[in-house]
Amino acid sequence: MSFEAYTKELADPATPLAVSKLVNLSRMGPGQASLFMDAWPEMDLHKRQRLIQELSDLAEDNVELNFDAVFFIALADRDADVRRDAIKGLWEYEGRDLIDSLVGLLESDPDAGVRAEAALALGRFVLQAEFDVLRAPDAQRVEQALRRTVEYDAEALEVRGRALESIGACSQPWVRDLIQRAFESGERRLWLSAVHAMGRSCDAAWLPTLIPELTSDDAEMRFEAAGACGAIADEAATPHLLGLLEDDDAEAQEAAISALGQIGGAQAKQALQALLTEGNERVREAALSALAEIDFAEDPIAFKLRG
């Protein structure tokens, strides 16, 4: 079947979506992308939604498949769920040509869920800027778009929070003030996102703020605080994470286990090894993964040889 015939099949409402044929959409050339773009608006909503979801699953299962061209087309879809899933589908894409699309969605999409997803996706470009692999004008465009979003009081809190999480990795002096103000805002969503952003900063100066939150009455805050301590990876947090190893909330408990794996050190290893005999299966698996991370960090060559 020619590619043109395949796109006509996709556009035909009487023909159900065949998952086995979706590999035809991998690595489309310009001509194929043009044909697909013409067919895309003719597909009914259910088919478009399912197609994007199936492509995301296929790409995750097989690294040889690449559906970026499809996801780029879907960014402009008339359905918010499709636009949001298209952003997620591009989670590994790091080309600067995505920046304008994401900034546009962040600043003008009518759906808050799409704006929040765009804010999160821009975080990868913040990291690129920190490692000096993004051009200065692009970095400034990303950083200012996220800053405007965080500071825009009329924006949905979920969107502002996601923007704050993304900008947290930026080392500009104004970012620290932005995080601090969000932490003290009294808005739970911003409070949680501020703690996440502290972790993204990898700055141990936030530990005096984070450590008290490890005993918060809010389980989601304990989860975020543990994750942030892990990202900062300073052994000063280790004694304070130990209490979370028996937390009633499974996600907070696993976040603490993962954090100890990121931090490493003798105390962390001892605590994780104890979980191999004391914890349930879920806890034991998390502890094994954390110990493997420590082993790799301590001696990556020996770890690979053992593997």
pLDDT for residue 8 is more than 90: yes
Fold of 94-201: Leucine-rich Repeat Variant (1.25.10)
Q: How far, in Å, CA of 39 to CA of 183, rounded?
A: 47
- Interval 220-245: pLDDT, tens: 999 999 999 999 999 999 999 999 99
Instruction: Report the range of poorest mean pLDDT among 89-93, 139-143, 159-163, 296-300.
Output: 296-300
The candidate with the shortest Cα–Cα distance to 122, out of 111, 134, 112, 226, is 134
> What confidence category does residue 307 fall into, taking pLDDT thresholds of 50, 70 and 90?
low
Q: At what angle do helices 173-183 and 188-201 cross, to 10 degrees?
A: 150
pLDDT value at residue 165? 98
CATH level 2 (architecture), domain 205-307: Alpha Horseshoe (1.25)
What mean pLDDT, rounded, does the chain reach? 95
Has residue 303 got a pLDDT over 60?
no
In angstroms, the CA 94 to CA 18 distance is 30
Confidence at residue 306, expressed as pLDDT on a 0 to 100 scale:
54
The whole-number pLDDT of residue 99 equals: 98
pLDDT at residue 227, rounded to an integer: 98
* Residue 304 predicted with pLDDT over 60: no
pTM beyond cutoff 0.85? yes
**Residues of CATH 1.25.10.10 domain(s) within the chain?**
205-307
Lowest mean pLDDT among 103-107, 157-161, 258-262, 273-277: 273-277
In our burial notation (b when 16+ CB lie closer than 10 A, e otherwise), range 263-297 reads bbeeebbebbeebeeebeeebeebbbebbebbbbe
What is residue 302's predicted lDDT score, i.e. its pLDDT? 54
Average pLDDT over residues 41-66: 96
Tell me the pLDDT tens digit for each residue of 100-119: 999 999 999 999 999 999 99
Residue 23 has pLDDT above 90, yes or no: yes
Q: Are 236 and 247 in contact (CB under 8 A)?
A: no
| pLDDT (0 to 100) of residue 236 | 98
* The pLDDT value given to residue 298: 85
